[in-house]
Amino acid sequence: MRLRSLALAASTLTTLPVRLRGDVSPEELRASTALYPLVGPWIGALPAALLCSPSPHFHARYWRLRRDRVTGALHLDGWADCCDAAFAPGRSPEQRLALLKDPRVGTFGAAGIVLLLLGKWTALASGPFWAPLLAAPIARWAMVWTLRSFPAARPDGLGATLAGRVPLPQATAILLGILLPLWALLHFPLGAVWAMAMGVTAALLTARFLAARFGGMTGDVCGAAGEAAELAALWAFVA
């Protein structure tokens, strides 16, 4: 059962070719969120390995491989959708929710993608090579925390299934089980604590702002909060 939950978490957060037998129940989907931090090291391992490369083109390879082979730019898409919908002037929460479903990328979404990628790019270039190994699990835990902390904006969809009913204590225990050995191995505990604090703060501020705009939590809001948490955690290591 635990392996099925891990496979479900991996299929939700990445483009790995994971096959699940049978239908996935809402209870299974909620239980799998506890393992989101466990998927983080796989997502962070690729940029960490590429940052060790002596090639001057590692950044371009990182973004291409991460987009196509690991995450499929899933949360980046949520970030762009949230930027377009949240900053559109003179819209009601219902109208903003409708904009989230628009597949087109508008001006705010394009600007948000550029700023986010530039922020991550410069943080990766300036920080230690192992920073993604710690930032990625923190960001995936922040997504679980966001789902637990805000009500759903719609009566259906991912937000309605997960909002307020995800196993945050289990996710926190798994996150600490990942981070503590890495902290000990890297001899940098204070920096990791600072990164976690910055990641959680960024996720809180992002999710609170977006939830106020949309009237609650959606899957896009969850992804955007994770992106904000990862960016903040990466920059914490630079600082």
In this structure, what token pair is assigned to residue 124? 């990766």
The answer to whether 158 touches 222, Cβ cutoff 8 Å, is yes
Rg (CA), the chain: 17
Q: What is the per-residue pLDDT for 56?
A: 47
Q: What is the per-residue pLDDT for 68?
A: 45
CA distance 219 to 60: 28
Q: What is the per-residue pLDDT for 141?
A: 92
End-to-end CA distance of the chain: 41
Q: What is the per-residue pLDDT for 11?
A: 77
Q: What is the per-residue pLDDT for 27?
A: 86
For residue 158, give every residue at least 6 positions away whose Cβ sits within 8 Å of its Cβ, in sequence order, or none. Answer: 218, 219, 222
Q: What is the per-residue pLDDT for 55?
A: 54
The structural domains of the chain, with segments of one domain joined by +, span 36-238
SS3 (DSSP) at 217: strand
CA distance 13 to 83: 20
Q: Which residues of the chain have pLDDT under 70?
A: 1, 16-17, 44-74, 187-189
- The DSSP annotation for 102-139 comes to --S--HHHHHHHHHHHHHHHHHHHHS-TTHHHHHHHHH
Q: How far is CA 66 from CA 16, 39, 63, 75, 139, in A?
A: 11, 14, 5, 12, 15
Which pTM does this prediction carry? 0.84
